[in-house]
């Protein structure tokens, strides 16, 4: 696994969003079984935990707020860690024309602190927005909360755009939290229009896939929401929700993250003439000492 395959291209040429979307579906289909296994290993326990926390909150527990926060943290960590595994797999796919479980998990675990820190940073504002939005209906004075939510979203959206490549910079290049944020912002700077347009198109495709996946499960949920004579959700309902979330994750997430990673490669190719040899150099980085020169470059 030390040498790239001879049939690989020698350069990530900036081929535009059309190529990125086509290639993301092609890779997702080619590596479908592997992506399913990677995502399922993380998402199965995470979805079960989230449903467990959700079930407890329906019982009007006095710890509802804490349970909701744990549910959000679980969901976001699972999504971030699953994304990290897919990004590692994409890097290995292009560098060596193969994917191994050991490489993906070792790569993600190597940056677990940066991944966890990013999960917490994302959870705080997103949970706050959701929490206050849910409580607007019971609030007599809704104007101030709405204004607050809009202000937070106006601040958060640019931040999310400029940190779109954070997970890629952490997993592919090995940056820590602060330098990963700086690196992502550097790559997107002066490419904001291209990145924003690509994010919108990739997001719309992901939403479309998600809707298609969710339709049959939504119909099943309507008939299984409650047992006869029981006001609480039935076990069948929770089973359907579990399957819906799992199928949605294993189908939509690989396409979404693959497209985002190819966009990251495309932007690096535009700005840095990124090629297979540079990808191989990035993939071989696996220690903090080998990151000193990269971090020095970012900080200067």
pLDDT tens by residue, 224-257: 655 544 556 667 778 888 999 999 999 999 999 9
Give the pLDDT score at 138.
59
Could you give the residue ranges of the DSSP H alpha helices within 97-165? 101-110, 112-134, 143-162
> Do 92 and 100 contact (CB within 8 A), yes or no?
yes
Tokens representing 201 are: 């198109």
Report residue 140's pLDDT band, with 50, 70 and 90 as the boundaries: low
pLDDT reading at 143 higher than 70: no
**Model-level pTM?**
0.86
Q: How many residues does the chain have?
A: 300
Tokens representing 265 are: 């490669």
Q: Pick the range with the lowest mean pLDDT from 31-35, 64-68, 190-194, 221-225.
A: 221-225
Q: Pick the range with the lowest mean pLDDT from 17-21, 144-148, 228-232, 248-252.
A: 228-232
Mean pLDDT for the chain?
83
Q: How far is CA 81 from CA 31, 32, 112, 171, in A?
A: 18, 18, 8, 10
Give the pLDDT score at 176.
93
Give the pLDDT score at 291.
52
Report residue 62's pLDDT band, with 50, 70 and 90 as the boundaries: low
H or E element at residue 5: none
> Do 61 and 263 contact (CB within 8 A), yes or no?
no
Phi then psi for residue 190, to 5 deg, are 70, 0
Q: Which residue did the predictor score with more confidence, 54 or 216?
A: 216
Q: How far is CA 12 from CA 9, 87, 172, 189, in A?
A: 8, 16, 15, 20
Mean of pLDDT values over 53-65: 66
Tokens representing 116 are: 């966890």
């Amino acid at each position: 696994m030390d040498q790239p395959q001879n049939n690989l291209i020698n350069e990530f040429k900036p081929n535009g969003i059309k190529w990125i979307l086509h290639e993301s579906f092609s890779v997702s289909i080619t590596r479908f079984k592997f992506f399913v296994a990677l995502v399922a290993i993380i998402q199965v326990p995470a979805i079960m935990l989230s449903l467990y926390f959700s079930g407890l909150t329906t019982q009007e527990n006095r710890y509802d707020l804490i349970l909701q926060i744990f549910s959000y943290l679980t969901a976001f960590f699972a999504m971030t860690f699953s994304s990290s595994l897919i990004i590692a797999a994409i890097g290995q796919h292009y560098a060596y024309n193969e994917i191994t479980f050991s490489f993906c998990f070792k790569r993600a675990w190597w940056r677990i602190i940066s991944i966890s820190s990013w999960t917490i940073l994302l959870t705080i504002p997103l949970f706050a927005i959701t929490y206050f939005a849910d409580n607007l209906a019971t609030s007599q004075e809704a104007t101030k909360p709405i204004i607050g939510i809009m202000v937070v979203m106006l601040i958060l959206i640019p931040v999310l755009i400029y940190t779109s490549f954070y997970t890629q910079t952490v997993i592919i290049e090995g940056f820590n939290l602060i330098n990963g944020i700086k690196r992502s912002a550097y790559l997107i700077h002066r490419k904001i229009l291209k990145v924003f347009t690509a994010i919108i198109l990739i997001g719309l495709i992901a939403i479309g896939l998600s809707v298609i996946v969710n339709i049959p499960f939504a119909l099943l949920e309507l008939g299984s929401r409650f047992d006869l004579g029981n006001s609480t959700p039935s076990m069948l309902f929770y089973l359907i929700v579990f399957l819906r979330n799992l199928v949605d994750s294993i189908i939509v997430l690989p396409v979404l993250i693959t497209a985002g990673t190819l966009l990251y490669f495309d932007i690096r190719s535009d700005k840095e003439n990124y090629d297979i040899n540079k990808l191989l150099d990035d993939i071989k980085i696996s220690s903090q000492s080998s990151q000193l020169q990269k971090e020095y470059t970012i900080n200067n």
